[in-house]
């Protein structure tokens, strides 16, 4: 058996039917496989990336497990398959967590990254003090909340009847995306904690994590 670290071995191909930027980076870095990943393995891997331990770590993993369990379907057969086999990462598109145009639109249906949508994301942010020095563009929790509301409103304006139905469901979907990304990849503390736009771009375009997250994943 090779002693090569997982992230240095040949990585599986990232499927366009995996629309989650964080999961796409996990697959590209060979931290998890690109097809079926057992829920305990997926939960443990993402849990390491949070850097949380003890009760906070257990709470984070419980939430991750619940989201992963419903990613491929919420029906009884889908739930049983997820529990016994795992999450199917290359079959997530059009699943229960797919926002169908009500998300950021940075990554389209063909897994093409749209730079103009990254630029739009930046307009919702501000310049924050970078712990590494200087300042950089980022989004705080309140900035992200405004951004998500604008995303939904944009989709609702384009397709009023269908997105009106999603009004109560959409906020729940979004709680598992950008706020979680802020929690894991954010810089700074408290109200000054922010998600770096530059790091978001690297995550989407290069499918690569910041070095501090890589360190946690390899721990």
Structure-model confidence comparison of residues 7 and 68, the more confident one: 68
- What is residue 167's predicted lDDT score, i.e. its pLDDT? 61
178, 195 Cβ separation under 8 angstroms = yes
Concatenating the DSSP letter of every residue in 89-141 gives GGG-TTSTT--TTSS--SB-TT--B-HHHHHHHHHT-EEEE-TTSSEEEEE-H
Q: What is the pTM of this model?
A: 0.89
As a whole number, mean pLDDT of residues 28-33 equals 96
Measured CA to CA, the distance from residue 199 to residue 159 in angstroms comes to 31
- Alpha carbons 206 and 115: distance in angstroms, whole number: 13
Q: Which pLDDT score, from 0 to 100, does residue 134 have?
A: 94
Distances 150 to 46, 50, 219 between C-alpha atoms, Å: 28, 27, 38
Residue 5 scores a pLDDT above 60: no
Pairs from 30-36 (Cβ < 8 Å, separation ≥ 24) = 30/6, 31/6, 31/7, 31/217, 32/89, 33/89, 34/89, 34/90, 35/88, 35/89, 35/90, 36/85, 36/86, 36/87, 36/88, 36/89
Over residues 41-90, the pLDDT tens digits come to: 999 999 999 999 999 999 999 989 988 998 898 899 999 999 999 999 99
Read off the pLDDT of residues 108-128 as tens digits, 9 standing for 90 and up: 999 999 999 999 999 999 999
What distance in Å separates the CA atoms of residue 209 and residue 204, rounded to the nearest whole number?
A: 10
């Amino acid at each position: 058996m090779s002693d090569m670290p997982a992230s240095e071995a040949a990585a599986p191909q990232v499927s366009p039917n995996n629309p989650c930027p964080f999961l796409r980076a996990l697959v590209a870095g060979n931290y998890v496989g690109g097809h079926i990943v057992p829920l305990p393995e997926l939960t443990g891997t993402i849990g390491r990336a949070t850097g949380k331990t003890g009760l906070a770590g257990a709470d984070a993993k419980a939430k991750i497990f619940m989201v992963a369990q419903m990613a491929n379907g919420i029906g009884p057969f889908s739930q049983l398959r997820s529990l016994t086999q795992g999450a199917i990462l290359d079959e997530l598109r059009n699943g229960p967590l797919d926002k169908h145009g009500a998300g950021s639109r940075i990554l389209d249906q063909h897994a093409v990254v749209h730079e103009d949508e990254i630029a739009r994301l930046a307009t919702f942010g501000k310049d924050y003090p970078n712990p590494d020095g200087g300042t950089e563009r980022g989004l705080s929790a309140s900035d992200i909340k405004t951004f998500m509301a604008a995303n939904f409103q944009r989709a609702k304006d384009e397709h009023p009847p269908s997105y009106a139905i999603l009004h109560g469901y959409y906020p729940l979907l979004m709680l598992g995306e950008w706020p979680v990304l802020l929690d894991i990849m954010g810089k700074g503390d408290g109200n000054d904690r922010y998600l770096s736009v530059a790091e978001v771009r690297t995550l989407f375009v290069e499918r690569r994590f910041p070095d501090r997250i890589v360190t946690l994943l390899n721990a």
